[in-house]
Amino acid sequence: MSKQIVLLPGWGLGVEPLQLLAQELSAALPDFNVQIQPLPSMQGQDAAQVLQQLDQQFPQDCWLIGWSLGGMLATALAAQRQAACAGVISYASNACFVAREGWSVAMPIATFTDFRALCANDPGVCLKRFALLCSQGAAEARQLSRQLQAAVPVDELASALAALDVLAELDNRQAIRSFTGRQLHLFAEHDALVPSAAAEAVSELNAQARVEMLGHSHASSMAESQLLAQRIASFIQGAEHA
């Protein structure tokens, strides 16, 4: 069983929202090597090209764990790797981020179109709004929002629109259906970006996948990092003893 864990961050906010989770995972799984992999610049690339780039960067047979966009990329890559992936765990990641035919439990296309236009016109304001949405539902929402806004690296602004387009392009329904390894998809009860109803829809894609509600906000990877790390560690340890 692989002792490598790769964490993939979400859209626009860099790696900082996963730092606490990485620390908690290292404490819970001391024999594992836990690394956060920044997302590459996605300018001029589609989802397939981004996945190819990530595949070249990660060790074989590692655990792929991702938050939001990172979770969608991790799930897609796991399906490509199949037996060469130890397992995949996503948090606050939908099968499709934007609603489409056959998948209504996602962000409405009109809402996404308005959000994309804001990103194109003023990515700084867009990321501030995104941080507010990420923190909605958390116990200390205002404080969490400030922390998320402070974490945004300058270089994220340049590639935010391209990454948003990749996020909209990804459709992981077949990836979830086809991945034969261990997969755990976690959803937040009051997530303002991924409807909680998506949990049931995702569970219907693959009876072997574990799908659970955990935490309160889209950014519980930061706000409830210990809770999330404990569940992830338990899932990985269960795979080791299976």
Does the active-site annotation cover 90? no
Nearest C-alpha neighbor of 163 from the set 103, 73, 59? 73
With beta carbons less than 8 A apart as the criterion, state whether 109 and 99 touch: yes
Question: Which value, in Å, is the radius of gyration of the alpha carbons in the chain?
Answer: 16
Question: How buried is residue 116: exposed, middle or buried, by Cβ count under 10 Å (0-12/13-18/19+)?
Answer: middle
Q: Shortest CA distance to 193 belongs to which of 127, 112, 116, 123?
A: 112
Among the listed residues 93, 145, 191, 221, the single catalytic one is 191
Helix (H) or strand (E) holding 35: strand 33-36
Active site residue 218: yes
Contact 146, 52 (CB under 8 A): no
41 and 162 Cβ atoms separated by less than 8 Å: yes
Candidates 2, 68, 90, 93; catalytic one: 68
CA distance 156 to 82: 31
Spot the catalytic one: 145, 159, 218, 220.
218
Give the Cα separation of 164 and 126 in Å (integer). 11
Per DSSP, 32 falls in state: S
Residue 191: active-site member: yes
* Residue 89, H or E segment: strand 87-91
Task: Residue count of the chain, please give it.
Answer: 242
Q: Which residues are catalytic?
A: 68, 191, 218
